[in-house]
Amino acid sequence: MSLLSLVTGLGALGAAAAYFAAGPERFWANWLLWQLLLLSAGLGSLFLVALEHLTDARWSIPLRRTAERTAGLLAPASAAMLAGLFALPVLYPWAHPGAALMPHGAAKSAWLSAPFFSARVVLCSALWLLAWRLLAGGSLEQDKTKAPALSVLARRFAPFFMALFALSVTTAAFDWLSSLEPEWYSDILGVYFFAGIFLAGLASVTLLAVHLIGAGRLPGVRFDHVYNLGGFLFAFTVFWSYIAFAQYLLMWYAHLPEEVFWYQRRLEGPWRTAALALAVFHFLIPFFALIPRDAKGDLPRLRWVAILLLGAHFLDLYWLIFPVLGPDPLFSWPEVSFALFFIGAALLWIRRSLAQGADMPIGDPRLEEGLAFRL
């Protein structure tokens, strides 16, 4: 047994013990946090793959297999979401007995019902996995057949996926996050969640790409290719910050009771420190770190910025979810156990994917053109 497998197993034991020692609410809050982080890395990477096909990008072709591999995290994420359905009667007030009598109950009962919620989770997961199979599986098949028709199929499917992605990500944001406090709502929560998802996917792809370049497994990939990943990281750091501030500003200005209570809970007491940390680690540090042109293609800098952004996305999800458990942040051995289990499982999945197929889409007829890309 490898050290990584051992750490993952110990994390699983600790997470299981947390159910009994720390209570089901804390257990399922941790599970929800990590399933959404895993989903973010996988779905954000798949969005990048589809975006490359949609725009017929050349620079990204040598790096596309890296994104396809990280998109494979959708498989364990989907399994985690199905298990996460058991959190409904524990974390979600609308799933409690007598919820129809609550102020939000009558207006939202048609949408917030356990059977319909479960159906949406199953449908979204199935559609994401189908899209991954078509885009990533088709790319691996093309390595064997060299058939240009598979590239054409991916480009034709990409616009359909974008529409599917927009609807499904918005649905997931409202279902898993907003309905934790069903009396609250935000019109741009779906966009906010998308910004975090894509940034997490970009960071995951960047980390894996830097690792493979350092191992000599991506020959021909140069500054010009990596620069575009750094540019995307920089752009979506700004975009996430803009959406986060816009959501807060609109609710602060309107000052509606059904909206501001949500921010009040997250901006008072110890949670204010977490909000300030988000501003620093999710925006200020990566923003200034990536401003210089050369920084966007500097591999060591991209590595630590990507790690920082993944950590910041974790903090963002923690700040969104954990205030429902109480006024004070919780972080001790249950949270560490979940981290060991989910990070270990993700790395085991990625290690398995690295042994399948070539490190570049060698069957794509435009690969040579992609390798010749210049800024």
What is the domain range of residue 236?
Answer: 3-94+111-371
Report yes or no on 16 lying in a domain. yes
Report yes or no on 90 lying in a domain. yes
**Nearby residues of 207 by Cβ (< 8 Å), 6 or more positions away:** 303, 306, 307, 310
Report yes or no on 362 lying in a domain. yes
Report yes or no on 306 lying in a domain. yes
Position 99 pLDDT exceeds 70: no
Position 243 pLDDT exceeds 60: yes
* Alpha carbon separation from 153 to 29, 50, 87, 156 (Å, rounded): 40, 12, 39, 5
pLDDT, mean of residues 35-43: 97
Report yes or no on 106 lying in a domain. no
Q: How far is CA 137 from the centre of its chain?
A: 21
**Per-residue pLDDT tens for 264-309?**
999 989 999 999 999 999 999 999 999 999 999 999 999 999 999 9
Report yes or no on 33 lying in a domain. yes
pLDDT, mean of residues 142-167: 93
Q: Over the chain, what is the mean pLDDT?
A: 93
**Per-residue pLDDT tens for 78-97?**
999 999 999 999 999 988 87
Report yes or no on 276 lying in a domain. yes
Report yes or no on 162 lying in a domain. yes
Going by C-alpha positions, the residue among 295, 73, 76 that lies closest to residue 197 is 73
The tokens of 28 are what? 């399922």
Note the pLDDT of residue 185: 83
**Rounded (5°) CA angle 272-277-282:** 130
- State the total domains in the chain: 1
Task: Specify whether the CB–CB gap between 29 and 325 falls below 8 A.
Answer: yes
Across 36-143, the runs of DSSP E, i.e. the strands, are none
Rounded-to-integer distance, Cα 120 and Cα 78, Å: 12
